[in-house]
Amino acid sequence: MRHIHPISEASCREHYGKPVLVILKDGGEIAGILTKVGPDTLVLNGEADISSGKSRSPKRNMKSKRINHKAEVSFSPFPNTGFGGGGLVLDLALIALLFAFF
């Protein structure tokens, strides 16, 4: 583990996408994937920014081949059984320590 100090965008940028452990000032611990650090917030398990700069492949002539596909729908008899559920935004004022795993 590596202690990250100070907790700022510049010092955390190299750890984006890596697992981290956040120790809160009240003694709580939160583990997650570091997504983003802003001026006053830290985001865990959020969606990564897409900035590859590549454009989509050129469109083919739609008249050449047209294949009809049926839509596939996933179904679960139990609500909210999916993994995840969005990112966690923490105020930097609540964070005592931040550690990055290698």
Give pLDDT tens digits for 16-74: 999 999 999 999 999 999 999 999 999 999 886 544 444 455 555 555 566 666 666 65
Q: Which residues lie closer than 8 Å to 94 by C-beta, 6 or more apart?
A: 24, 25, 26
Q: Tokens in use for 66?
A: 């047209």
For residue 73, being part of any structural domain is answered with no
List the domain range (segments joined by +) for residue 102. Answer: 1-46+86-102
Query: Which amino acid makes up residue 93?
Result: A
For the whole model, what pTM was predicted?
A: 0.64
The whole-angstrom separation of Cα 68 and Cα 91 is 49
When pLDDT is cut at 50, 70 and 90, the band that residue 87 belongs to is: confident
Q: What is the reported pLDDT for 67?
A: 66
**Cα–Cα nearest to 20, from 36, 76, 62:** 36
Domain count, the chain: 1
CATH number at 12 reads 2.30.30.100
